[in-house]
Amino acid sequence: MTSTSASPSLTASSARTSERWNRRLVALLVALIWPTQLLAVAGIVTANTTADIAQRFHTTQVAWFSLIVTMVSTLLIPFVIKAGDRYGRRRIMLAMIGLGVVGDIIAAMAGSFWLLLVGRGIAACYAPFAALSFPAVRDLFPARMVKQASAILGGSMGLVGVVGPLLAGWLIDAGGYRAALWFIAGATSVAFVLVALLVPETPRHDFQNGFDWLGGTLLGGGLTAVVYAVGQGGSRGWTSGATLGWTAGGLLALVAFVLVERGSAHPILDLRVLGRRPVALTVSAAAVGQATALAMASMGILLALYPAIPGVSDGLGWTSTHNARIGLTWNLVMLGTGFAAGRLLRKADARLLWGIGLGLGAAGYGLMGLFHADATELVLTACLANLGTGLIVSIAPVLVLGVVSVEEQGQGSGLMQMLFNFFGTVVPAVCFAVLAAHSTVLKGTAFYLDGGYTWVFWTGALILLAALAVSLFIPALRDPESDAAPAAA
């Protein structure tokens, strides 16, 4: 595989020298949006197959179907960041997507649950794609368009909410979990073609020879161990020996990572960059804000789909299709807000838009805690919350642009992705712990009462307010327009 683009008419230099949107830049952005947001679509589709898979394979370990993706992704992110900086992001993207296609095909054809997990584990090599796509925007787009393109790439998450639930219901009704997995394999193949034809190679930002395998293993392995402990804590018990042991082991690995990196001649992550106060504040707030907003959206789906059984379960009892149709309202709000943010960034401070997003999200979920008894209440509160979510997912990558240089962009985006994976496991675990405190168990199944849903949404609102408080200390952001145009790849 060469480092040149498969499309001679689209090169890094030609994309960077354009002064306004044209067909090449639109095609480039679409080629990045498809694989980046396909991961979220695949997450929704596969989440809807969980019950079918558990029944078909007669397994009680179905939680691994999703957990293995998060664990492999977290383990690989440090290596993906470094490889993208050193060898060019396009070739790493193609390698990741290629493995994703292979894994998806194995999963779709699997005749046993463990072979299904092997396929999912291989397919998870594609999961850290966002750690490359957002830095690629900075490498490939004209400097004056970087903020807008990054906001559109992040804000296109709204497309997932519009398309994902309807698609999941149709696929599963038509052909069960195998139809869903074959769809993912086909969509991932399309992603490979789009990147191969439309994404030029990016400039290299790392010219060192050595590779810090030990540091990468300690960082990725440490975070993976903690993610595993949190992911299994609800079922094993938070004070069980296994949960405490995995948590302690992960934390020790992270301490060892810091010690190893300080003495490494070729660190996998530059601790001087990550230790800067603006970088630490920004990536932490961005990761927490996104993880919480998306976790609350999942809790809303849980409320809608759980049955309404007086005295036992206070869900709304909707079908998946009905929920998808009602959800079009707030998901279209999120999509429109995300795209509008790209235009607002031309004149507005990204920190102001970010703060407004967190505030609207907190207000929406705070009100949702009080008003969620029927479709009208849920639509009104969710639309308010998703005004915030649209701003959160579109502005988060722009914040990172403002605290790192173009050479440091891969590390900044990668760290945010790692923390997003971590908090994306922690926040739902906290939510289910809250729900468990307000639940009834009937024939071995936990059903959740209204008080649990109320406190879950209030918990999300409080976390978003905490992220807002931290964000107040983010300093003025540098403008990506100050980046010097890189040399052609």
| Residue % of the chain over a pLDDT of 70 | 93
pLDDT of residue 19: 63
pLDDT of residue 484: 52
For residue 479, count other CB atoms closer than 10 A to its CB: 14
pLDDT at 410 over 50: yes
For residue 410, what are the β-bridge partners? Answer: none
pLDDT of residue 5: 38
Tell me if 415 sits within 8 A of 284, measured CB to CB: no
Phi, psi of 18 (to 5 degrees): -70, 145
pLDDT of residue 451: 94
pLDDT at 273 over 60: yes
- Which CATH code is given to the segment(s) 1-206? 1.20.1250.20
pLDDT of residue 454: 97
pLDDT of residue 390: 94
pLDDT at 94 over 90: yes
Rounded CA separation 331/297 (Å)? 10
pLDDT higher at 489 or 146 = 146
pLDDT higher at 446 or 217 = 217
Rounded CA separation 398/155 (Å)? 11
- Take residue 326 and report the two structure tokens written for it: 């009602």
The pLDDT-based confidence of 485 (bands split at 50, 70, 90) is very low
Helices 130-140 and 146-155: crossing angle in degrees, nearest 10, is 150
Place of tokens 């990550």: 274
62-85: per-residue pLDDT in tens? Answer: 678 888 888 899 889 999 998 999
Rounded CA separation 262/440 (Å)? 51
Rounded CA separation 487/17 (Å)? 11
Tell me if 253 sits within 8 A of 74, measured CB to CB: no
The DSSP secondary structure of 267-326, one letter per residue, reads -SS-HHHHTSHHHHHHHHHHHHHHHHHHHHHHHHHHHHHS-EETTTEES----HHHHHHH
pLDDT higher at 226 or 18 = 226
pLDDT of residue 488: 35
pLDDT of residue 104: 94
| Residue % of the chain over a pLDDT of 90 | 49
pLDDT at 13 over 80: no
pLDDT of residue 14: 52
pLDDT at 128 over 50: yes
pLDDT at 17 over 80: no
The correct CATH number of 270-478 out of 3.40.50.300, 1.20.1250.20, 3.40.640.10, 1.10.3720.10 is 1.20.1250.20
pLDDT higher at 394 or 20 = 394
pLDDT at 51 over 60: yes
Name the residue type at position 292: T
Indicate the average pLDDT of the chain. Answer: 87
379-398: per-residue pLDDT in tens? Answer: 999 999 999 999 999 999 99
Rounded CA separation 214/259 (Å)? 11
- Take residue 488 and report the two structure tokens written for it: 């052609």
The pLDDT-based confidence of 11 (bands split at 50, 70, 90) is low
CA pseudo-torsion sign 285, 287, 291, 294: positive
The pLDDT-based confidence of 233 (bands split at 50, 70, 90) is confident
322-372: per-residue pLDDT in tens? Answer: 888 898 899 899 989 988 998 899 889 999 999 999 999 999 999 999 999
SS3 (DSSP) at 441: strand
The pLDDT-based confidence of 376 (bands split at 50, 70, 90) is very high
